[in-house]
């Protein structure tokens, strides 16, 4: 619960910043008291992209491991608490610097924009804290394996370990960037920074980051949703295979965020684009698995015809409805990702507000709606209360408001991006340029959609507060589905992390050794820091 409280405080503050942003970008509103647009944008990105996600994920994962592998030992709990406090202290440090207007560098903190060193140190602590907390979760799973030799470990715990392993390997990149480049540079110990190297290290981490958000949502889809709809997990092996593929392919693909970067040789971009297409496969496996789960559950309840099973899904249950809408939105959202990853099309959309539209569909809809759906049972389960009919009805309304708001905001971002509007920029009419006039109506639409989303946040937080302190006391189930009896036995290799780590290391070395060697070997002078806000 401690993690979840921090997460939803971040949701409120970050969501408020989001509302201010869409209003400013509509061109009809200006920020009061000299508050800068980029300051608000940094608050928004850091609090929602980094803090809300990481804290909710850890709250959920700790509960998931403890529910499926057994209660955490005192040592594991202590490590969990140390991790929590280190992360929280880091958050406070980074937040303080942003609020003091010393770090308006956005959540990607691209050099040569230079923030105060305390901002970088704060974010480093968030990562170090997450290593400590993640270790505690993995230790419980290892203990389970020792206590139950030669048995397949609980699926949900296995998934948590995969996510933490991916996170650990990915964060090594950003840790190297901050420790060896940004911190010494912001402290004045070195004068210049190698921009291309810093971005490459960031994106080594940055794409795995998006799967660190997505995989907990997939945990809910694979293991929780089947129980809520009265079905079974379609296949334990398929679910594990999908997670292993994410571990393997999430990291050696970061260069697809740098397809327009001049300093990276096109042949390495080609390799990483191929690997990016590989990382779409586990999502396609997941889509297949979810359809199979829905259909089998529907047919077991007597559904007939090709699509009769759709009618048997529990549409009135917010614990299902919110994640389901997340899945549905992931179909266009994922297709947009494939557009981004395709080198030629990336030239059109890169650095336009299309990309902002893409990640509001993926993380801010697919992932967040699944987290909302999970909170509807997890919070009352942990607080000893029940998710009442009235709160469930509000949860359905909340989901509809969210989907409508996001459909308006995100589709207008996609279209405006195709018309050339930049991302990461405050409102401007660009000196009355003709092209900028074509964006105006889409910017107003974004303000309308963004306002609906803010209303969605308020409704969700109302439900959350009720579930924490005011809903009737009782027992709410932690729903975990069983594996279908028809599923094949899980091959032991899927749990053999030694094999996967070797392949992962090989893929990373192939994808990154030469580009990084090349970047360092041909490094220009480097850049001094800039503070443009
Ligand atoms: Fe992305 C940029 C490529 C997925 C987030 N992405 C971003 C940024 C973020 C982000 C935050 O290649 C901006 C970063 C920044 O600040 O610069 N993305 C992809 C690809 C995928 C992808 C190939 N992204 C995500 C996910 C995210 C996320 C997931 C967050 C959670 N993305 C890119 C690229 C860029 C990028 C480039 C850089 C662009 C640039 O130039 O700057 C893939 O993983 C997508 C695969 C997904 C699918 C969909 C499968 C569908 C499923 C739903 C099934 C539905 C069911 C419902 C079962 C293939 C699983 C049943 C329905 C019934 C009707 C019954």
How far is 329 from 214, CA to CA, in rounded Å? Answer: 13
How far is 509 from 505, CA to CA, in rounded Å? Answer: 6
Whether the CB-CB separation of 141 and 53 falls below 8 Å is answered with no
Gyration radius of the chain's alpha carbons = 23
Which atom of ligand 1 lies closest to the CA of 291? 58
Cα of 93 from ligand 1 centre, angstroms:
31
Is the minimum distance from the CB of 312 to ligand 1 under 6 angstroms?
A: no
% of the chain residues with pLDDT over 90: 97
* CA nearest to 202, candidates 179, 183, 180, 175: 175
Q: Pocket of ligand 1, candidates 214, 238, 256, 362: which has the most ligand atoms within 8 Å of its Cβ, to mutate?
A: 362
Instruction: List the residue whose alpha carbon is closest to atom 31 of ligand 1.
Output: 363
> For 197-237, what is each residue's pLDDT tens digit?
999 999 999 999 999 999 999 999 999 999 999 999 999 99
Which atom of ligand 1 lies closest to the CA of 338? 23
Average pLDDT over residues 24-42: 91
The pLDDT of residue 114 is 97
Is the minimum distance from the CB of 361 to ligand 1 under 6 angstroms?
A: no
Instruction: List the residue whose alpha carbon is closest to atom 63 of ligand 1.
Output: 328
The pLDDT of residue 116 is 97
> For 69-124, what is each residue's pLDDT tens digit?
999 999 999 999 999 999 999 999 999 999 999 999 999 999 999 999 999 999 99
The pLDDT of residue 533 is 85
Whether the pLDDT of residue 48 is over 90: the answer is yes
Which DSSP string do the residues of 273-297 spell out, in sequence order? HHHHHHHHHHHHHHHHHHHHHHHHH
Q: What are phi and psi of 527, to 5 degrees?
A: -115, 145
Longest dimension (CA), the chain: 71
The pLDDT of residue 126 is 92
pLDDT band at 287 (very low <50, low <70, confident <90, very high): very high
The pLDDT of residue 178 is 95
250, burial (CB in 10 Å: exposed 0-12, middle 13-18, buried 19+): buried
Q: What is the pTM of this model?
A: 0.96
Instruction: List the residue whose alpha carbon is closest to atom 41 of ligand 1.
Output: 350
Handedness of CA 260, 263, 266, 271 (dihedral sign): negative
Q: Pocket of ligand 1, candidates 340, 351, 423: which has the most ligand atoms within 8 Å of its Cβ, to mutate?
A: 340
Instruction: List the residue whose alpha carbon is closest to atom 18 of ligand 1.
Output: 337
The pLDDT of residue 187 is 96
Active-site residues, by number, are: 207, 211, 358-360, 423-424
> For 440-457, what is each residue's pLDDT tens digit?
999 999 999 999 999 999
Q: What are phi and psi of 106, to 5 degrees?
A: 65, 170
Cα of 433 from ligand 1 centre, angstroms:
32
> For 384-418, what is each residue's pLDDT tens digit?
999 999 999 999 999 999 999 999 999 999 999 99
Whether the pLDDT of residue 34 is over 90: the answer is no
How far is 48 from 43, CA to CA, in rounded Å? Answer: 8
Whether the CB-CB separation of 14 and 98 falls below 8 Å is answered with no
Whether the pLDDT of residue 33 is over 90: the answer is no
% of the chain residues with pLDDT over 70: 100
169 contacts: CB under 8 Å, gap ≥ 6:
208, 251, 504, 508
Whether the CB-CB separation of 317 and 392 falls below 8 Å is answered with yes
* Distances, alpha carbon 274 to alpha carbons 257, 278, 453, in Å: 14, 7, 35
Average pLDDT over residues 10-22: 96
Q: What are phi and psi of 530, to 5 degrees?
A: -125, 145
417-436 in b/e form (b: 16+ CB < 10 A) is beeebebeeebeeeeeeeeb
> For 481-523, what is each residue's pLDDT tens digit?
999 998 989 999 999 999 999 999 999 999 999 999 999 999 9
Is the minimum distance from the CB of 313 to ligand 1 under 6 angstroms?
A: no
* Distances, alpha carbon 162 to alpha carbons 137, 141, 212, 392, 500, in Å: 11, 11, 10, 32, 10
Cα of 214 from ligand 1 centre, angstroms:
9
């Amino acid at each position: 619960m401690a993690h979840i409280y921090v997460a939803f405080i971040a949701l409120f503050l970050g969501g408020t910043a989001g509302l201010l942003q869409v209003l400013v970008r509509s061109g009809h509103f200006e920020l009061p008291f000299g508050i800068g647009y980029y300051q608000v944008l940094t608050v928004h990105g850091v609090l929602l992209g980094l803090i809300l996600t990481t804290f909710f994920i850890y709250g959920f994962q700790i509960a998931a491991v403890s529910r499926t592998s057994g209660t955490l030992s005192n040592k594991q709990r202590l490590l969990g608490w140390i991790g929590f406090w280190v992360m929280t202290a880091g958050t406070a440090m980074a937040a303080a610097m942003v609020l003091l207007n010393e770090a308006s560098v956005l959540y990607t903190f691209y050099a040569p924009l230079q923030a105060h060193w305390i901002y970088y140190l704060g974010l480093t602590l968030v990562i170090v804290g997450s290593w400590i907390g993640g270790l505690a979760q993995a230790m419980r799973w290892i203990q389970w394996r020792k206590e139950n030799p030669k048995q397949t470990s609980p699926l949900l715990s296995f998934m948590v370990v995969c996510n933490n392993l991916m996170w650990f390997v990915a964060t090594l990149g950003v840790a190297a960037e901050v420790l060896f480049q940004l911190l010494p540079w912001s402290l004045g110990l070195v004068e210049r920074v190698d921009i291309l190297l810093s971005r490459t290290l960031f994106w080594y981490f940055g794409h795995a980051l998006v799967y660190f958000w997505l995989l907990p949502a997939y945990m809910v889809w694979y293991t929780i949703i089947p129980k809520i709809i009265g079905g079974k997990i379609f296949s334990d092996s398929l679910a594990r295979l999908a997670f292993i593929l994410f571990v393997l392919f999430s990291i050696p693909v970061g260069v697809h965020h740098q397809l327009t970067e001049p300093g990276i040789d096109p042949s390495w971009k080609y390799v990483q684009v191929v690997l990016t297409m590989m990382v779409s496969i586990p999502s396609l496996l997941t889509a297949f698995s979810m359809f199979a789960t829905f259909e089998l559950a529907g047919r077991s309840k007597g559904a007939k015809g090709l699509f009769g099973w759709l009618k048997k899904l529990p549409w009135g249950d917010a614990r299902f409805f919110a994640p389901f809408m997340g899945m549905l939105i992931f179909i266009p959202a994922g297709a947009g990702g494939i557009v981004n990853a395709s080198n030629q099309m990336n030239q059109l959309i890169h650095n336009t507000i299309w990309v902002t539209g893409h990640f509001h569909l993926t993380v801010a809809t697919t992932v967040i709606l699944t987290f909302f759906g999970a909170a509807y049972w997890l919070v009352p389960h942990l607080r000893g209360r029940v998710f009442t009919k009235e709160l469930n009805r509000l949860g359905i309304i909340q989901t509809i408001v969210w989907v409508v708001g996001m459909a308006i905001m995100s589709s207008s971002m996609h279209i405006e991006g195709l018309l050339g509007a930049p991302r990461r920029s405050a409102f401007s009419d660009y000196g009355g340029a003709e092209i900028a006039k074509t964006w105006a109506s889409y910017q107003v639409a974004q303000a309308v959609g963004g306002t609906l989303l803010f209303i969605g946040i308020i409704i969700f937080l109302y439900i959350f507060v009720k579930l924490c302190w005011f809903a009737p006391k009782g027992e709410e189930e932690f729903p975990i589905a069983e594996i279908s009896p028809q599923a094949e036995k899980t091959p032991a290799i899927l749990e053999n992390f030694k094999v996967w780590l070797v392949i992962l290391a090989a893929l990373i070395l192939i994808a990154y050794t030469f580009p990084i060697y090349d970047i360092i070997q041909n490094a220009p002078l480097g850049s001094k820091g800039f503070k443009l806000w």
